[in-house]
Chains A and B, each alone.
Chain A
Amino acid sequence: MTTPDQSRPTPESFLDAARAEEASSRPGRLKIFLGASPGVGKTYAMLEEARLRARSGLDVVVALVETHGRVETAALLAPLEQIPRRVIEYRGQMLEEMDLDALLVRKPRLAIIDEFAHTNASGSRHPKRWQDVLEVLDAGIDVVTTLNIQHIESLNDVVAQITGVRVHETVPDAVLDRADQIELIDLPPEELIQRLKDGKVYLPQQAGRALENFFTKAKLTALREIALRTAAGRVDAEMLDIKKAQADRTIWPTADRLLVCVNEAPVAKALVRAGKRMAERAKIPWIVVSVLTPKHEAMEAETRSATQDALRLAETLGAETVTLRAESDAAREILRFARERNVTRLVIGRSRWHNSFVQRLVGLIREPVSETLLDEATDFEITVVTAHARAQRRRALARGPAPHPATWLPGFWRAALEASLAVLAATLLAWPFWFWLPVASIAVIYLVAVLIVAFRRGLPGALLGSVFGFLAYNFFFTTPYFSFAVEQYEAVVGLAVFVVSSVVTGTLASRLRAQVVTMRATQARTETLYEFARKIASATKSDDVLWAAVAHVARVLQADVLILTPDAQGQLQQVQGWPSIDEALDPRDLGAAQWAFEKAEAAGFGTGTLPNATWQFVPLATADRPFGTMGVHFHDPSRAKDPETKRLLLAVEDQVAIAVERNRLSEEVANARVTAESDKLRAALLNAVSHDLRTPLVTVIGATSSLAESGASLPENIRAALATSAHEEARRLDRTVQNLLDMTRLGHGALKPNRAAIDLREIIGRVRADLGRVLTSHALNIEIAPGLPPLDVDPILIGQALANVLENAAKYAPAGSSISLAARRVGGNAEILVSDSGPGICVADRAKVFDLFYRAAQGDGTPAGTGMGLAIVKGLVEAHGGQVTAEAGPGGDGTTIRLVLPVASLSPEGPAA
């Protein structure tokens, strides 16, 4: 969270106000009793308030208050409802902690929680109590808590400087910004010292003398001043909020921004804290930036993590953090970024090595970033923060032996070994020639050796190589031979030139080498990322997406990876994993997974929630809902804190979310298409039912009603005609109904042909009988090749199919023309061709005529039809394993429908006699 720009009513300011309003209506409100030091009476004040509120009828519960044996406190506490503490066993000790879950279940309106900065016992859900409080607030419960100023992250340094005691329990400033109300409990130093003397102030025993030194009047006065200023600053901020809300437009200065540049130097954290104070005071947003150069890629993870620690600190202090990348010129990159972001002030650090010899030597070639910035950033206001070298070193010593040399030494010895080998080789190579070649040429051979070592082993190699080369050259090839003494003036110059050129070329070679290594690493990363993106883009199923994700993450992070998604009961299940999909997760891991899924934030190892789980879980969510969580179990635990890891996981989360979302959308589109199709089908069916069922009924009702009403008065021939047409139309209606039934059964796959061997002629006989008068206006020519075996079909269903084909032919062929039906055997099938001399079907429509409710484009006055007939033919024929196609009729006129149907495999001859 950045410090809001308090100078101008920006759109964000309205947004902030709206957000604050929304936040105050939904999550709980936080009130903090702030004190300058222990003993000012925060807990007492808090409990008094609790009692007042409880008396006024509010549902108040004490989640955790330490009385430290004080009677007044205990007396205040007694009438209030308290939640029993949870007991956690940690290394044999029984520790009491606030029971967060019990509180959430109890869900009072107001919870009293003491000591905001408290560190929870290992094994709790959150490492810090303020994280517990945030969860309580999120649950809609108001919280009242207490805090001393030395626990505020940005004041931590200042207080430590005043008191000489550094506390490690800190609360990020961003969390304080959540507070709706901060009440300062002020007590003049004299009174506090008096209270201390009266034994009214609880002091932890282990603090001992250090804390006693704390309570001097001068120190207490200084702390009180800081506390007052902090509280006043907040009042200012609140007033500004109000001003913003009223959009009180006076003159608004242009926005300032503060940029803090950090690197791996130990001063980084101090820089961040200084930046926070400056930004706070100036009330401007601040950004903390670090630049990654090839040099960083080659650095030890330990060293790199210093930068990351600083960036994390900045985040907790409410800064925006940015990591830039530059090939070599970090300063230029910083300036570019600063100008782009409207930065007016720069905060930079100065290396403690700056004055050392090595730095100067290297500085000949490469100027430190801070120097460049000071030279070039003339349009910025620059603050340089210098580290207290002694303090830094002391802290480093206190932490025990630095791990750095341990990892560095083998590299050093390797460089030494390679340097000596290279120099030895150069010497052996040069030896045979020294008699003929001038001494200067031999120096070149050594230079080559140095270059090689420098390229392989970097700067240490270059330096060692030049020293060894110098010595060997001096020993063997300058007079007096086999002595380190130098006689001739020109040899001295030669040697000097040799040393300088070998250092310069060696440095250049080592930098080249570093760049090559970085480029390779970058390329490899880009390639895997590209491959992942490609895989995930081509994955059409969510399962494939998740698989690509686990494989990618496992490979890049060298970790075991799992993906869990909720099943129908909402239980998280392992659905993808690398190397195994069935990891044994213990309850802590499962808790972290559940947390990550439900709260949509990272949990478990290396995070702020359930950090003692062995897996880290990150949420997987699309724009509107979470759909699972990804668990990572690092082979190398230090990677968990690497910001590179965080970035990668975020990238994967995003990619997976996009891919899953995309698949879901395409599924939805497909579904929508299916719905549209079925809508179309429904409309066609409705049309068929309304039109094609009613049309025959018009005739039936009309004819029968005239017969019923005036049959007696009608002449005999009219009566017969009416009855006949009613009869014919009723039969047509019957066939339509039959088609509808068949269509339904085909649609449900409920049609099971009841196959039997039957002669085609017999089927045709039935069909003609069924069709009745439909065929009377056309001549039906049947040509069945002799020896056509019986068909292996359901006679009823194929009869229906043939009836439809013939009825269709009769419908389109002009009256009086003939319809031909020819059949012959083709392989294991019978081919039946039904041809008519109607208008024919154009090529484009030939496949479509078998679609349900499709009717070939027709002019006016075309015969009525449902568009079901041929579709049902296709369905019936295909249910028999046959085929049906439409083609041009014989000689190109009319239409031929070709049916291919299986014949009975063997026709066992009956014993005739």
Chain B
Amino acid sequence: MNQPRILIIEDEAPIRRFLTIALGAGGFEVLEAERGRKGIELAAVLAPDAVLLDLGLPDIDGKAVIASIREWSQVPILVLSVRDGEAEKIAALDAGADDYVTKPFATGELLARLRAALRKRPIGTIEKAELTFGTLEINLATRFVRADGREAKLTRKEFDVLALLARHSGRLVGHRQLLTTVWGTAHAEDTHYLRVAIGHIREKLGDDAADPRFIITEPGVGYRLLGE
């Protein structure tokens, strides 16, 4: 069984070393690049299964690396970013990144994100209709939702939002993606629709934003349904 190959594009040697150890222990094969151009080259030559990209590279801008890779590949890209780079994160997501991890991060968190990203893979595979996340059950075919054993009556939009999050469970879904998918491209900036809808969903699922069990808010960026 060949292990998933992860390409790490990161200029800081200690972080590369730590990632190599941590990912190796997590069952991944690691490829390293310390510069952006080198990373693009390796991504093209070695065709990794996922890319871990540091946004602050010395040679070229991280977003340019994403755009460059996206020209020929849909390989999942995880961005490593600092806390205050909200605009940076959104720009990276817009450029085609799939998710991000804020430095400093816990290994567990990184591995979970990476697995969630890799799960996106199967193209053309038939989607499972029944999804279960802890005590939350969602039937995509019948649009039936049950939380803690009780049925939750969601409106159409609310269900669409929840379904989108569920299909990408464990992964970040950005405001823009949610809005354009559910409400259409005309409402790409109307984040308050989303805020209200999420509020209602949480209420109906019996979820508490202050102590969330199902939906996690990534302030200013998007939402995430807790995986598995």
Min Cβ gap B220→A in Å is: 6
- Binary per-residue interface labels of chain A (707-736) against chain B in the complex, 1 for a CB within 8 Å, 0 otherwise: 000000000000000000001001100100
B219 touches A764 (CB 8 A): no
Max chain A Cβ within 10 angstroms of own Cβ: one of B87, B195, B209, B219? B219
Q: B191 — which chain A residues lie within 8 A by C-beta?
A: 756-757
Q: B147 — which chain A residues lie within 8 A by C-beta?
A: none
B210 touches A790 (CB 8 A): no
B217 touches A765 (CB 8 A): yes
Partner of B219, one of A730, A738, A758, A910: A758
Q: A734 — which chain B residues lie within 8 A by C-beta?
A: 104
A151–B87 Cα distance when bound, in Å, is 90
B155 touches A765 (CB 8 A): no
Partner of A758, one of B193, B195, B212: B195
A765 touches B220 (CB 8 A): no
Instruction: Verify if B83 is at the interface (C-beta below 8 Å from A).
Output: yes
Instruction: Verify if A759 is at the interface (C-beta below 8 Å from B).
Output: yes
B196 touches A912 (CB 8 A): yes
Min Cβ gap B219→A in Å is: 3
From 164 to 219 in chain B, residues with beta carbon under 8 angstroms from any chain A beta carbon are: 190-197, 199-200, 208-212, 216-217, 219
- Binary per-residue interface labels of chain B (46-59) against chain A in the complex, 1 for a CB within 8 Å, 0 otherwise: 00000000000000
> Which chain A residue lies CB-closest to B223?
A762
Min Cβ gap A784→B in Å is: 8
Q: B196 — which chain A residues lie within 8 A by C-beta?
A: 907, 909-910, 912
A623–B191 Cα distance when bound, in Å, is 68
Partner of B209, one of A730, A764, A796, A799: A764
Q: Enumerate 30 A-B pairs (CB-CB under 8 Å) in ascending A order.
A: A727-B106, A741-B84, A754-B220, A756-B191, A756-B220, A758-B195, A759-B199, A761-B208, A762-B219, A764-B209, A764-B211, A765-B208, A765-B210, A766-B217, A766-B219, A768-B210, A768-B211, A782-B210, A795-B219, A795-B220, A796-B220, A799-B219, A908-B192, A909-B196, A910-B157, A910-B190, A910-B193, A912-B157, A912-B196, A913-B156
A730 touches B104 (CB 8 A): yes
A611–B220 Cα distance when bound, in Å, is 77
Q: B216 — which chain A residues lie within 8 A by C-beta?
A: 765, 769
Q: A762 — which chain B residues lie within 8 A by C-beta?
A: 209-210, 217, 219
- Binary per-residue interface labels of chain A (646-680) against chain B in the complex, 1 for a CB within 8 Å, 0 otherwise: 00000000000000000000000000000000000
Instruction: Verify if B158 is at the interface (C-beta below 8 Å from A).
Output: yes
A764 touches B193 (CB 8 A): no
| B residues apposed to A, CB below 8 Å | 83-84, 86-87, 104, 106, 155-158, 190-197, 199-200, 208-212, 216-217, 219-220
A908–B197 Cα distance when bound, in Å, is 12
A224–B167 Cα distance when bound, in Å, is 126
A790–B199 Cα distance when bound, in Å, is 11
A911 touches B193 (CB 8 A): yes
> Which chain B residue lies CB-closest to A799?
B219
Q: A741 — which chain B residues lie within 8 A by C-beta?
A: 84
Q: A765 — which chain B residues lie within 8 A by C-beta?
A: 208-212, 216-217
Q: A730 — which chain B residues lie within 8 A by C-beta?
A: 104
Min Cβ gap A723→B in Å is: 11
B217 touches A738 (CB 8 A): no
Instruction: Verify if A136 is at the interface (C-beta below 8 Å from B).
Output: no
Given the known interface contacts A764-B210, A765-B217, A913-B155, the answer about A754 and B86 at a Cβ–Cβ threshold of 8 Å is yes
Instruction: Verify if A63 is at the interface (C-beta below 8 Å from B).
Output: no
Instruction: Verify if A271 is at the interface (C-beta below 8 Å from B).
Output: no
A764–B82 Cα distance when bound, in Å, is 20
Instruction: Verify if A259 is at the interface (C-beta below 8 Å from B).
Output: no
Instruction: Verify if A763 is at the interface (C-beta below 8 Å from B).
Output: yes
Max chain A Cβ within 10 angstroms of own Cβ: one of B87, B209, B220? B209
Q: A759 — which chain B residues lie within 8 A by C-beta?
A: 195, 199, 209
> Which chain B residue lies CB-closest to A797?
B84
> Which chain B residue lies CB-closest to A800?
B83
Q: A765-B208, A910-B194, A913-B156 are in contact. List 19 more A-B contacts (CB 8 A).
A: A758-B195, A758-B217, A760-B210, A762-B210, A762-B217, A763-B219, A765-B212, A766-B219, A782-B210, A782-B211, A796-B83, A796-B219, A799-B219, A907-B192, A909-B196, A910-B193, A910-B196, A912-B158, A913-B155
Partner of B86, one of A758, A782, A796, A912: A796
Min Cβ gap A426→B in Å is: 101
A911 touches B157 (CB 8 A): yes
Max chain B Cβ within 10 angstroms of own Cβ: one of A760, A761, A908? A761
Q: A756 — which chain B residues lie within 8 A by C-beta?
A: 191, 219-220
Q: A799 — which chain B residues lie within 8 A by C-beta?
A: 219
Q: A909 — which chain B residues lie within 8 A by C-beta?
A: 196
A201–B10 Cα distance when bound, in Å, is 103
A790–B198 Cα distance when bound, in Å, is 13
A148–B192 Cα distance when bound, in Å, is 103
A754–B211 Cα distance when bound, in Å, is 24
> Which chain A residue lies CB-closest to B87?
A754
Min Cβ gap A741→B in Å is: 8
Q: B156 — which chain A residues lie within 8 A by C-beta?
A: 913
> Which chain A residue lies CB-closest to B155?
A913
Q: B86 — which chain A residues lie within 8 A by C-beta?
A: 754, 796
A738–B155 Cα distance when bound, in Å, is 41
Q: A760 — which chain B residues lie within 8 A by C-beta?
A: 210
Q: B200 — which chain A residues lie within 8 A by C-beta?
A: 912
> Which chain A residue lies CB-closest to B200?
A912
> Which chain B residue lies CB-closest to A759?
B209
> Which chain A residue lies CB-closest to B194?
A910
Max chain B Cβ within 10 angstroms of own Cβ: one of A760, A763, A765? A765
Q: B84 — which chain A residues lie within 8 A by C-beta?
A: 741, 796
Q: A795 — which chain B residues lie within 8 A by C-beta?
A: 219-220
From 738 to 791 in chain A, residues with beta carbon under 8 angstroms from any chain B beta carbon are: 738, 741, 754, 756-766, 768-769, 782, 784, 790
B195 touches A790 (CB 8 A): yes
- Binary per-residue interface labels of chain A (315-332) against chain B in the complex, 1 for a CB within 8 Å, 0 otherwise: 000000000000000000
Min Cβ gap B200→A in Å is: 7
The list of the 4 closest CB pairs from A to B, nearest first, reads: A795-B219, A761-B209, A910-B196, A910-B193
> Which chain B residue lies CB-closest to A795?
B219
Q: B157 — which chain A residues lie within 8 A by C-beta?
A: 910-913
Min Cβ gap B95→A in Å is: 20
Q: A913 — which chain B residues lie within 8 A by C-beta?
A: 155-157
Q: B220 — which chain A residues lie within 8 A by C-beta?
A: 754, 756, 795-796
> Which chain B residue lies CB-closest to A911?
B193
Min Cβ gap A97→B in Å is: 74
Given the known interface contacts A799-B219, A909-B196, the answer about A738 and B210 at a Cβ–Cβ threshold of 8 Å is no
Q: B193 — which chain A residues lie within 8 A by C-beta?
A: 910-911
Q: A738 — which chain B residues lie within 8 A by C-beta?
A: 83
Min Cβ gap B165→A in Å is: 15
A769–B83 Cα distance when bound, in Å, is 14
Min Cβ gap B96→A in Å is: 23
A555–B208 Cα distance when bound, in Å, is 78
A170–B87 Cα distance when bound, in Å, is 86
A731–B103 Cα distance when bound, in Å, is 11
A757–B219 Cα distance when bound, in Å, is 10
A756–B194 Cα distance when bound, in Å, is 13
Q: A764 — which chain B residues lie within 8 A by C-beta?
A: 209-211
> Which chain B residue lies CB-closest to A769?
B216
> Which chain B residue lies CB-closest to A737?
B104
Min Cβ gap A758→B in Å is: 6
Q: B83 — which chain A residues lie within 8 A by C-beta?
A: 738, 796
> Which chain A residue lies CB-closest to B196?
A910
A600–B200 Cα distance when bound, in Å, is 82
Given the known interface contacts A734-B104, A912-B155, the answer about A761 and B195 at a Cβ–Cβ threshold of 8 Å is no
Min Cβ gap A866→B in Å is: 18
> Which chain A residue lies CB-closest to B209?
A761
